[in-house]
Structure 1
Amino acid sequence: MARYSPPSLRCFFRCAASSASRAVGSGTRKKNLVFLGSPQVAASVLDKLLGASGSPESAFQVAAVVTQPPAAKNRGRKLMPSAVAQLALDRGFPEELIFTPERAREESFLSALKEVEPDVCITAAYGNILPQKFLDIPSCGYELSLCICTLREAPELLSMLFHLGSKLLINELPSILDGSAKDKAQPQDDSKATLAPKLNSEESWLSFDEEAKVLHNKVKIKVISTKVSTSCVKVGDENEILFSGSSLLIPCSGSTWLEVLELQLPGKKVTKAQDFWNGLRGQKLMKLP
């Protein structure tokens, strides 16, 4: 574990607390909050937490910040702090309380965190798996998740969700810290949870035995673009790939067709389907059965 030092020298918020309940004192001291995050959207959350903690009526204070270690960026490959670390430094947060462990399971980091005596830890796009030893440190004695579940494809939406989540988080923190949130919290129905397992190399292949929409959803995460064809296409050979308009038409399961708008050959740049088709010079294109 290393604390942050200057270069020259994780839509979801989770309040983690130990499963073994420990009573929160009834004193008037502000509760210690530890924030974990790394990218710019997480920095916006920290900024709001620091602003809210400065109020005399605030129930909490930001006692420490945990973020990813400095990384080499730009052409000079100069080590630069994460957006969260930079925001903390810009706001005058003590450097010795900005922790940048390689792994959250490091004993030196966990020991340093215990010394802070956090009542609650907030994670927002931290980017590191938190072990049970970490989850056992905060003293509030319960777990609470605040999330916004409607997701769309837009960087602007990500910022908006973090903005809304920050407001929700700050509104709920007093009840989290005094324990009243536990009474109104609703447990998650794990049977309705959707898992997102790690992608493997086999999933990079497209099987045209699947429907066009399934294949389209796989390609959406790549630079190459596709769309589901709404055209009524008739062809003699069921494995023949056609060209229409500006797209390659690939026959798929269920009499559906996938339109390929762009593609990339090994070692080549991304090219439009029309340019690729023109390069075939009349050759027939078939998919493997």
Structure 2
Amino acid sequence: MPLRLIFMGTPDFSVPTLLELVAHGHEIVAVYTRTPKPGGRRGLQLQPTPVEEAARKLGLPVLTPKTLKTPEALQEFRAFEADAAVVVAYGMILPQAILDAPKLGCYNLHASLLPRWRGAAPINRAIMAGDAESGVMVMKMDVGLDTGDVAMAERIAITDSMTALDLHDRLSRLGADLMVRAMAALERGGLQLKKQGEDGVTYAAKIEKAEARIDWTRSARAVLRHIHGLSPFPGAWSELEDARVKILRCELAQGAGEPGAVLDDLLTIACGEGAIRIIELQREGKGRMQAADFLRGVPVSPPMRFG
């Protein structure tokens, strides 16, 4: 029989999993998501989360509690009599009483190869650290920070051409399929759990805006991974002729020079070792654009420099 599930998620990353669970016949008895935030023109309208928008299109009941730590929140959660809860980037801590409420437990989809990159920003941190691979894992949740027993995993190579958005989209789709398989195994009583090892534990701290400034003294590959790990948000940036420019996509290139120096008229920029060529960028107050379009309006050539 299909499972009675509570789904808990907030951003775009969560939506494919919700859609796949519905498509595979599971009964979604409630959808929990974060409260709407001000947005639209002048921030006067409340903007529902991507998960809320998807859930309402499907006719599913949506709840947006500000906390799960009250007796009332626990009573409401228990009243759904769910077999399990599926959690995908919900953005709120689940207290032990909530974790214990579903008969079969709460299962989280996490975008890293645990125990590496526990925490808030695993996709960005994996790229920025130069990791060769990433992945998604389904784990049974406990009260620790991404410390639960792992049920299933899928791996994917990280190439130098991948931005955080590219990897986000790949892992979102891969994770949706993985969670559907995990719930099918749970339904059959055949979901196997394995404790996480203690070797290789790292934490994916939230991205701070202060990290976004590009350090051109680093190697070309480190600069590239920094840029791609922060693309499109918050966007790695540098200054060109006193104007701030976000660099959103680049590639390794031939060349050498003083860090930050413009090496030609194709936006090849010297790093501490090697060089990168800018492919896509965004001027302050402007939309994102291809390098060729940027250069038609802003000629850039030696001896100009970034930083």
TM range (shorter): 0.5 to 0.7
Q: Does 2:36 match 1:70?
A: yes
Cα separation, partners in 2 of 1:134 and 1:149, compared to 1, 3 Å = farther
In 1, Cα distance between the equivalents of 2:271 and 2:166? Answer: 35
Preserved CA contact (<8 Å) 1:32 1:62: yes
Cα separation, partners in 2 of 1:216 and 1:91, compared to 1, 3 Å = closer
In the TM superposition, what is the alpha-carbon distance from 1:171 to its structure 2 partner? 3.5
Normalising by structure 1, we get a TM-score of 0.62
Preserved CA contact (<8 Å) 1:212 1:257: yes
Partner of 2:220: 212
In 2, Cα distance between the equivalents of 1:102 and 1:163? Answer: 28
Partner of 1:61: 27
Preserved CA contact (<8 Å) 1:246 1:261: no
Partner of 1:48: 20
**What amino acid maps onto 1:88 in structure 2?**
A
Cα separation, partners in 2 of 1:269 and 1:70, compared to 1, 3 Å = closer
**What amino acid maps onto 1:99 in structure 2?**
L
Q: Does 2:149 match 1:149?
A: no
Partner of 1:192: 200
In the TM superposition, what is the alpha-carbon distance from 1:157 to its structure 2 partner? 7.0
Question: What secondary structure does 2:5 align onto?
Answer: strand
Aligned residues: CA RMSD: 4.0
Q: Does 2:300 match 1:277?
A: yes
In the TM superposition, what is the alpha-carbon distance from 1:176 to its structure 2 partner? 1.8
Preserved CA contact (<8 Å) 2:13 2:172: yes
Cα separation, partners in 2 of 1:203 and 1:41, compared to 1, 3 Å = closer
In the TM superposition, what is the alpha-carbon distance from 1:259 to its structure 2 partner? 4.1
Q: Does 2:9 match 1:37?
A: yes
Q: Does 2:90 match 1:90?
A: no
Preserved CA contact (<8 Å) 1:30 1:61: yes
Partner of 2:253: 230
Residue 114 (structure 1) aligned to one of 69, 78, 98: 78
Preserved CA contact (<8 Å) 1:248 1:273: no
In 2, Cα distance between the equivalents of 1:242 and 1:167? Answer: 45
Q: Structure 2: where are the runs of 5+ without partners?
A: 107-139, 141-149, 236-245
In 1, Cα distance between the equivalents of 2:190 and 2:30? Answer: 24
Cα separation, partners in 2 of 1:123 and 1:227, compared to 1, 3 Å = same
| 1:120-269 equivalences in 2 (<5 Å) | 120-140=84-104, 143=140, 144-150=150-156, 152-153=162-163, 161-177=171-187, 179-181=189-191, 184-220=192-228, 221=230, 222=235, 223-225=246-248, 227=250, 229-233=252-256, 238=258, 241-252=261-272, 255-260=273-278
Partner of 2:48: 81
In 2, Cα distance between the equivalents of 1:187 and 1:108? Answer: 33
Bigger strand fraction: 2
Cα separation, partners in 2 of 1:190 and 1:267, compared to 1, 3 Å = same
Q: Deviations 1:190-241 (Å, cap 9, x if unpaired)?
A: 42354322223442333333212111221222242464553244x6xx5682
In the TM superposition, what is the alpha-carbon distance from 1:32 to its structure 2 partner? 3.3
In 2, Cα distance between the equivalents of 1:115 and 1:138? Answer: 10
Percent identity, aligned pairs only, is 22
Cα separation, partners in 2 of 1:153 and 1:65, compared to 1, 3 Å = same
Q: Deviations 1:54-77 (Å, cap 9, x if unpaired)?
A: xxxxxx632221112234444484
Q: Deviations 1:145-165 (Å, cap 9, x if unpaired)?
A: 444331554868755654454
Question: What secondary structure does 2:263 align onto?
Answer: strand
Cα separation, partners in 2 of 1:203 and 1:158, compared to 1, 3 Å = closer
**For the pair shown, which has the larger CA radius of gyration, 1 or 2?**
1
In the TM superposition, what is the alpha-carbon distance from 1:89 to its structure 2 partner? 3.3
Normalising by structure 2, we get a TM-score of 0.59
Q: Structure 1: where are the runs of 5+ without partners?
A: 1-28, 54-59
Cα separation, partners in 2 of 1:113 and 1:224, compared to 1, 3 Å = same
